[in-house]
Structures are given as C-alpha cells and as structure tokens.
Amino acid sequence: MSMQLEVNGKVLTFDAQPDMPLLWVLRDLLRMTGTKFGCGMALCGACTVHVDGQPVRACITQVSSVAGKKITTIEAMASDSVGKRVQAAWLELGVPQCGYCQPGQIMSAAALLKHNPQPKDADIDQAMSGNICRCGTYPRIRAAIKRAAGG
Amino acid sequence: MIQNVSRRAFLGAMGAAGLILVVGCERRASAAGEPKYGADSMPHGWVDNPLAFVAIGADGTVTITCHRSEMGQGVRTSLPMVLADELEADWRRVRVRQATGDEERFGNQDTDGSRSMRHFFAPMRRCGAAARNMLEQAAAASWGVPLGEVEAVNHEVIHRPTKRRIGYGELAAAASRLPVPARDALRLKNPSQFRYIGKGEIGLVDGPDIVTGRAQYGIDPVLEGMMFAVVARPPVYGGKVASYDAAAALKVPGVVQVVEIPGTPPPSEFQPLGGIAVIARNTWAAIQGRQALKITWQDGPNAAYDSTAYRATLEQAARAPGEVVRNQGDVAAAMSSAARRVEAEYYIPHMAQAPMEPPAATARIVDGRCEVWTATQAPQATRDRVSKRLGLPFDRVTVNVTLLGGGFGRKSKPDYVVEAALLSRAMNGAPVKVTWTREDDVQHGYYHTVSVERLEAGLDAAGKPVAWLHRSVAPSIASIFGPDSQHEAPFERGMGLANVPFLIPNLRVENPAAQAHTRIGWYRSVSNIPHAFAIQSFVAELAAAAGRDPKDYLLELLGPARRIDPRTISDSWNYTESPVLYPLDTGRLRRVIETAAQQAGWGRKLPAGQGLGIAAHYSFVTYVAAVVEVVVNGKGEIAIPRIDVALDCGPQVNPDRVRSQIEGACVMGAGNALVSEITFKAGRVEQSNFHDYQVARINVAPRDIRVHLIASSFDAPLGGVGEPGVPPIAPALCNAIFAATGKRIRRLPIRDQLAASSGSGA
C-alpha cells in the first residue's frame, strides 16, 4: 500500500506492507543505506534512528507505527548541532575501526547528549549498552561522548 | 605477470589523464627448491610496480590503490600512507581506490594472518620511491639540469640551486613516459625523513564516510532492478533438503521466486551449504517468505553432534597419549621422580566471529560476465570460486571489494558470494543481493574450534618444573578442505602449542585425534586462543602451587633472553616467515612482560575481591603481554577497570591504528572469556542471535585500556598487529580472578561461574 514518511525533513512516498520494519523501508525501498542491519531483534543497535527525537531500533519498528512522526537518520546528523559535534569527536579520537556499527552508535550517542548534555559513565553505559561494536571501540566511544559533551 | 597489465585497462579504469605508466619489473625468481618465506610464500606473492598502485592526474591528484581488504584494521589508510610517504605526496591530495580481486596484478590479497603491513610495507615503499624518482627525472629533464640537483618535496619537485618548483600534476604526463627505475637503484627514504610513517597523525580515509553513513559495505550496494534474497540452509553440517513446499512462500507479497541451491557434501570448503533461497523485491519480504517455506531436511552424519557429549569425548582423548608434536628429554621418567605433580584441563568452546555486518553479497551476470560486490577478506578466492561454480572463465568474473563491516576470519570464506552468483544466474543474470540474517550467521558459520587442553607438570622440591606434558585436542580447520585427519595442522600447532618457549628439560606435546562435526574456520587469533589460555593459566597455577609470584615464575620459565630457531622447537610453520629473520626471541617476550607489569604497577596491594593477572603470548611474530585488573563483587559479577598491554610488533607504521587494534583485541578477548559460546545439540547450533550468542558490550568491556608500544627501528622486521592482542587477555583475566577470589577458571566462557551457588570452574 502507498505510504508516506517524513525522513530527515522530507516527505517520501512509497509502497510497503504496513508491518514492514522501518529499517527495510529505509534501506531497500528508500535506498538510504546508512542505517545498518545487524540483528533484526533490537539486540545490537546498528539500526538506531531517531523518531521524534527518541532513539529507536528501526529493525523492529513497523513502518505504520511511525507515520506522521519525524524520522531522523545518520544521513542527517551532519546538519544537527549535537550530531555534528558527535561526528567530529568520533573523527578526532579515531573511534571507528570497521565502522559498520558507528552510525547506530552515533545515533545513540547523539540522543543521549540531547537529553543529558553531561553524561556520567553510568549514563553512558545505560544509553550505549544496546549498541554492539564487535571491533571493540568502546573505550574510544566513551571518550568521544565525553569530548562531544565538552567534558 | 606485471607485463600483462594493459595500458588501456589502466587508463580506462582510472578515467584520468597524465598517469604514471611504467614498464613492469620482474620479480626475482627464487632458486628452485629454495624455501620461500613471508610474502614470497603467499599465492601471487607481492608486486611493487607503481603502475599497479599509483596514478597521478594532471590536477595533481594522487590516486593510490589499496589491494588489501579494509575490515577495521585501517589498512586503506596505512598502506596508501606508506606509498604516499615515499612518494613525498601531500596526503590531502591523495585519494584511495580499492582494488578488485586481481592477484596477478597486485600480489596476494588474502587479508588474514595479520600480514598486510608485514608483507607490503617494503613493496609499497618501493612503489612510492620509484614514482618519486620518475617525477624527479621528468622535472630534471624539463629544466635541463642534472638529476642530482632536484628533489621531490611534498607534491612538488624543486630545483635546489634556482628554487624553481613544478607540481606533480604538471610532471605526471612526462613521468609516465619514463621507464621504471630498477628496484636495486631505488633510493628509499631514511626513516628520519618519514612524513607520515610512524607518526599516527593521519585520520582514517574512510572516517568521514563512516560517521555520516555514506560508507559502502558489502550489504549496501543498490543496483537497478536488484532482487533481495535470503536462504534457508540445512541446520546440520552435511545435511540437505529432502523435500520442500514453496507454495505459501510464493504467496507472501513481494516474493518473486524460490530457488534450490545444491549443497556440497563435507568437506564443503568455501562452497555454499545449499538450501532453499527466497528471492523477493525487498529483504523483509524475502525473510517473510523464508518463514513460510515448508522444508524437510535430511540431516546426515552430523545429526548427533552434541557439545556436552563432545566435551566428554575431547576430555577422554586428552587423558590418553596422542600423536607426538614435540618431545624433548624423558617426560615420563621426570614425572615419576618429581617432588610434586600438578595437572589441569581447560575447555574453550566454539565461537562465532559474528561481524556486525553479516555476510552479504550482490551478483549480476551480463553477457557471460559476472560482477559481484561484496565484503571479502579473500578477493582472489572469491573470484576463483565464483568462476568455477558458474563455469565462467576467471577473467569474466569481477570482484568489487567493499568495506567490510568486520571480518575476524568469517569473510575469508566466500560461500555467501557463491550463493549470490548462483541466484543471479537463476534469475537470468538480474542483480541479486543475498543477505545473511544474524540467525544465519550464528547458526551456519565457520566456527572457532572447540578444544580440551590438558596440562601436566612435575615440579622439583623448589617448585620448578622438571617435566611438562601438554595434550591439545581440537577439530582442525583443515577438515573443511579435505579428508579429516582429526589432527591439528602444522599452522595450528605452530600457534603456541609446539613452540612453547619454556626452558624445561623434559617437555612433551601431544595431539590426540578429534573429529570435526561442523565447519571449523579461522577466528581472530585462531588456535592461539586455546593454546595461550591453557598454557598461561597453567603457568599461574604452577606458580601458585610453588608459592611464587606468577610474573617472576613466568619469566623464570622463559629463561634468559635467547633467539630460538622455531624449527628446533618443532615449529616448521612460523607464520610463514623465515626462521632466521623471525626467530622466537624470548628477550622480546621478557621485555613485554616486564613492561606490562611495570606499567600496571604489578605487586600493588588491592582490596579483597580485586586482583591483577598477567599473561604473555607470542603470535603472528609479535610479542604481547597483558596485565588485567579485575573486580569481583559479592554476587560474583566481574568488572575489568583496567588492562595494561605491552606490545612488541617491531616497527609501528601507523601507531594509532596499532593501538586501536590492541584496544579492540582486549575487548574481544574479554568477550571471548566472559560470555561467547556456541553449542550444538542434535547437530544444530543452539544459539541464534545476540541474546543467546553474547559478545562484549560497553558496560562489561574493559574500561581503561593502556597500550604500551615497544619502540623499534624501521630496519627491524615487522610483526603482525590485528590478531596477537587477543590470546593473552583471557588467561590474564582468569589469573586476575584467581588473585582476587582464589577461584580458578578452567572452562570458558566464565559467565556466572563465580556466582555464589556455582561450583568450581573445572
């Protein structure tokens, strides 16, 4: 069926089953591949996007449930003031290794900083433990979040 | 051969004018029968022809080709950086292009074994130096001055006496008409002149794309008319489809086609496992369609594979003599006269690499040519297997190598790419992307082996070992390639089993038989993981039995600094390196142990429930020691506030990427030790996704990782970096847990073994 979504400030129209996860709408239908597939069960965080400013796992979010809401993906983070700071910190500290999980990490980190501009270690654990990095960049992720916070 | 590289293909591929074109230089042939080592020993060896690797546009843009796969180690930054340094290129004007699979042209592309920098540092330097020399020649000729008066500096050639300058872009066309200088005549930089090498100041070339979501992985290609596929594979290795009904699957909206992929009976090497593929208009529809398939499987001979029973089988094998790997002195006699005997068995389970990007590939076949886009550590093997399976000539297959969203050994096996090629053929050549779900990845992998390591030692009255017996029992990776010998291959025995460098007069290593019942594959650090875990745990157990400090005891076992020819300790493999150039240097191992201990404040007093543990291991011709600090709370929960790692990998070309690899190795090593385990029941993997196949998360990962790099001259041979950080972490952690709690962990993963109700770890 024909559907509409507001993604990164643009209203996009496409055909999809209403129960199709947002992840596959973004990746396969809208061809926005910055949002990554990692598990399909909200276990790894690679698919994290913002829906009305809240971090959600796109892999278990039915597209029909986000109609009329504002969806923000990694592709728009460079034009977001917090997202931009997070991206800069990621580069300054050389966080990425393979980089595959990093869009999701950045989306989670940006959401954290929007709600908690000066997160403590425990806050970082809480907000980021849903995002797996198999390369093991966690120490630099932690440091980069603190840098982006200006701490 | 290099001479076969076509000018037109090179120009066409680059689509730019003013390229450097040079006549190929023949690699020196080695005398017949002379053993080959290092890059020389790898398929297609190395190439140092600038024609293959560097092009300069008229605008001065330098395009450097990276022929090794980027999977997080930073190779797309580090190898081009080496070439750029010798070329005196301004890094801001360098672009990196990824090679397709083409070893005739680029040399070996197998990105595994921690070899990329070790084998290509020198060839990349020569590429850069040759191109620099040609630019200097072109400038000297244009000014009509002697070559000795000009010098390339930061993207320009300068005429010293007159201070005239010409940019690389202006020189490129003239330089391209010159012959390549002879290899022996090249003037390489003195390391003091390095602009980028050894500095660690260059950011990742892919960093900006990664943080903005633009980076392209194997799962990301979008082609016009592309179909999306997932495959239902036999749940048991060697099983096959008995019958299936696709009617319901074909009714799922978006499903286009259902196709059977024939499997390959074991040993199935890099071939697909076979099964039923669902091809659809998007991945979600394909997944839904697969769920609607009704398949009856025929499980075959591995249907009884059961991890609990198999552990008992391994233990039984380890308690009886096995094939002798190494023998010195008389262990039996020394054991019987020892003042005291200690024995222990260690168990290390199967694990899955579980790269965050699961296996994925896209294939298209047009006019009898197949083109694939994929994340692969083995571009040449991928091209070879696709061409053979499709029955196409090798030169009609192109393998485009994307970024890899992690590899860890899984993406050295291109079964998933062959699947994509077969499905494209089934769809008359239309582009088909195959995506492995996480469940597919966890349940149909090439698993890290499973092993029981049994150690026995006889101590003298002073607590010093006079006899050492190690029996290692583990199914071999070789079992995927041919008849299962049931014994570890030389490369597995060379990973810290045979080549244990201890000064013990009576030492025997055996390898009893173990049959494989699943696909066994490389997993970052491979057999070093079980061997180091057992040996480095056992040394600490002996130290405890002797009432000695574990660090001092370990150093004493290593004995004085000496360079051991690996062949004299039954290791003929030596990570493919020359035993003369790369002896096992116990002095270097001692030094990393002493460095890690000193930096960690070894011996410092810690409160109850906290402890320090140490372990050291030589692997991938690199020396690593780790001191892990652990906190175990009253509930038996484990935290790792700090790890100090000392690393001697010879010269460090990109120190920041060396550090990041070691940080990652600490995290992965901790995950291996704490939570990761794959088990089988009725031949099937019991885990399916990250809820039951766990890996390290930020809240349990080591908090403060301090990497201490041992300085080295650039004249020294390079060691590996990607893998050697992993093996010491698990034993150092378990040794720390012993120091903190008095509990000895002998079975991984640790999981809740320290919980109050849990028994001993044995």
pLDDT (tens digit per residue) in B175-204: 999 999 999 999 999 999 999 999 988 999
A54 backbone dihedrals φ, ψ, rounded to 5°: -95, 140
Structure token digits, residue B432: 């088909």
Task: Look up the pTM and report it.
Answer: 0.96
A97–B660: do the CB atoms touch at under 8 Å? Answer: yes
Classify residue A79 as exposed, middle or buried by CB count within 10 Å of its CB (0-12, 13-18, 19+): exposed
Q: Cβ–Cβ contacts within 10 Å for residue B710, how many? A: 15
Q: What's the rounded Cα separation, in Å, for the pair B601 and B55? A: 51
Q: What's the rounded Cα separation, in Å, for the pair B360 and B416? A: 6
H helix and E strand count, chain B: 20, 28
Domain B227-301+359-435 fold: Aldehyde Oxidoreductase; domain 4 (3.30.365)
- Side-chain half-sphere exposure of B590, counting CA atoms within 13 A: 15
Structure token digits, residue B348: 């290390």
On the question of a cis peptide bond just before residue B749, with omega within 30 degrees of 0, the verdict is yes
Q: What's the rounded Cα separation, in Å, for the pair B121 and A63? A: 49
Strands in B482-621 per DSSP E: 506-511, 563-564, 584-585, 610-619
B212–A139: do the CB atoms touch at under 8 Å? Answer: no
* Of residues B356, B666, B702, nearest to A38 (C-beta): B356
Which of A37, A85, A87, A92 is best to mutate for the B interface (most B CBs within 10 A)? A37
Q: How far is A36 from chain B (nearest CA, A)?
A: 8
On the question of a cis peptide bond just before residue B607, with omega within 30 degrees of 0, the verdict is no
Domain made up of B307-351+446-741: CATH architecture: 2-Layer Sandwich (3.30)
Start and end residues for every CATH 3.30.365.10 domain found in chain B: 2-202, 227-301+359-435, 307-351+446-741
Q: What's the rounded Cα separation, in Å, for the pair B500 and B322? A: 18
Structure token digits, residue B71: 């999977």
Q: Cβ–Cβ contacts within 10 Å for residue B514, how many? A: 26
B695–A134: do the CB atoms touch at under 8 Å? Answer: yes
Q: Across the beta sheet with B323-328, what order do the strands follow? A: B323-328, B506-511, B465-473, B451-459, B340-348
DSSP 8-class letter at B747: B
Residue A100 has pLDDT above 70, yes or no: yes
Strand-pair partners of B297:
B241
Q: What's the rounded Cα separation, in Å, for the pair A106 and A112? A: 10
A132–B704: do the CB atoms touch at under 8 Å? Answer: no
pLDDT of residue B236: 98
Classify residue A126 as exposed, middle or buried by CB count within 10 Å of its CB (0-12, 13-18, 19+): middle
Q: What's the rounded Cα separation, in Å, for the pair B136 and B159? A: 9
**Angle between helix A121-128 and helix A102-115 axes, rounded to 10 deg:** 130
pLDDT of residue B33: 73
Weakly modelled stretches of chain B, pLDDT under 70: 1-32, 757-762
Start and end residues for every CATH 1.10.150.120 domain found in chain A: 76-148
Domain A2-74 fold: Ubiquitin-like (UB roll) (3.10.20)
pLDDT of residue B13: 31
Q: Cβ–Cβ contacts within 10 Å for residue B37, how many? A: 18
Pick the CATH number of A76-148 from 1.10.150.120, 3.40.50.10540, 3.20.20.70, 2.60.120.10: 1.10.150.120
Q: What's the rounded Cα separation, in Å, for the pair B729 and A97? A: 20
Strand-pair partners of B584:
B564
Which of B111, B290, B698 is best to mutate for the A interface (most A CBs within 10 A)? B698
Q: 3-state class of B399 per DSSP?
A: strand
Check: CB of residue B465 under 8 Å from CB of residue B506: no
Structure token digits, residue A23: 């992840």
Could you tell me which of B484, B485, B517 has the C-alpha nearest to residue B302? B517
Q: What's the rounded Cα separation, in Å, for the pair B82 and B536? A: 36
C-alpha separations of B406 from B32, B199, B524 in Å: 39, 25, 11
> Which alpha helices (DSSP H) does B187-246 contain, by range?
207-212
Q: Across the beta sheet with B704-709, what order do the strands follow? A: B610-619, B622-632, B638-648, B704-709
Q: 3-state class of B584 per DSSP?
A: strand
Nearest CA in chain B to A37: B357
CATH class of residue range B2-202: alpha beta
Q: How far is A73 from chain B (nearest CA, A)?
A: 9
Name every chain B residue with its beta carbon within 8 A of the beta carbon of A106: 211
Q: What is the ipTM of this complex?
A: 0.99
Q: What's the rounded Cα separation, in Å, for the pair A43 and B697? A: 11
Start and end residues for every CATH 3.10.20.30 domain found in chain A: 2-74
Structure token digits, residue A95: 């966080």
A99–B405: do the CB atoms touch at under 8 Å? Answer: yes
> Which alpha helices (DSSP H) does A7-137 contain, by range?
22-24, 81-92, 102-115, 121-128
A137–B664: do the CB atoms touch at under 8 Å? Answer: yes
* Of residues A73, A101, A130, nearest to B356 (C-beta): A101
B408–A133: do the CB atoms touch at under 8 Å? Answer: no
The DSSP element (H or E) to which B217 belongs, if any, is: none
Q: What's the rounded Cα separation, in Å, for the pair B140 and A92? A: 40
How big is the CA angle at B348 (ends B347 and B351), to the nearest 5 degrees? 155
Check: CB of residue B702 under 8 Å from CB of residue B666: yes
Name every chain B residue with its beta carbon within 8 A of the beta carbon of A8: none
Q: 3-state class of B633 per DSSP?
A: coil
Q: What's the rounded Cα separation, in Å, for the pair B81 and B53? A: 12
3-state SS record for B468-503:
EEEEEECCCHHHHCCCCCCCCCHHHHCCCCCCCCCC
Structure token digits, residue B584: 């096992």
- The contacts of residue B568 (CB under 8 Å, 6+ apart) are none
Name every chain B residue with its beta carbon within 8 A of the beta carbon of A78: 212
pLDDT band with cut points at 50, 70 and 90 for residue A17 = very high
- Side-chain half-sphere exposure of A124, counting CA atoms within 13 A: 25
Handedness of CA B121, B127, B131, B136 (dihedral sign): positive
B194 backbone dihedrals φ, ψ, rounded to 5°: -60, 135
Question: How far is residue B172 CA from its own chain's centroid?
Answer: 37
Could you tell me which of B499, B210, B165, B607 has the C-alpha nearest to residue A87? B210
A98–B406: do the CB atoms touch at under 8 Å? Answer: yes
Q: What's the rounded Cα separation, in Å, for the pair B68 and B81? A: 13
Structure token digits, residue B158: 């300068």
B403–A135: do the CB atoms touch at under 8 Å? Answer: no
Could you tell me which of B252, B248, B241 has the C-alpha nearest to residue B280? B252
Which of B68, B224, B356, B721 is best to mutate for the A interface (most A CBs within 10 A)? B356
Question: How far is residue B544 CA from its own chain's centroid?
Answer: 34
Identify the residue whose tokens are 């886009």: B373
Structure token digits, residue B516: 């494989």
pLDDT of residue B7: 31
Tell me the per-residue pLDDT of A48-82, one tens digit each, with 9 for 90 and over.
Answer: 999 999 999 999 999 999 999 999 999 999 999 99
Which of A1, A28, A90, A102 is best to mutate for the B interface (most B CBs within 10 A)? A28
Q: 3-state class of A52 per DSSP?
A: coil
* Of residues B204, B355, B691, nearest to A134 (C-beta): B355
pLDDT of residue B24: 35
Q: Cβ–Cβ contacts within 10 Å for residue A42, how many? A: 18
C-alpha separations of B707 from A139, B674, B704 in Å: 12, 21, 10
- The contacts of residue B564 (CB under 8 Å, 6+ apart) are B501, B583, B584, B585, B586
Residue A90 has pLDDT above 90, yes or no: yes
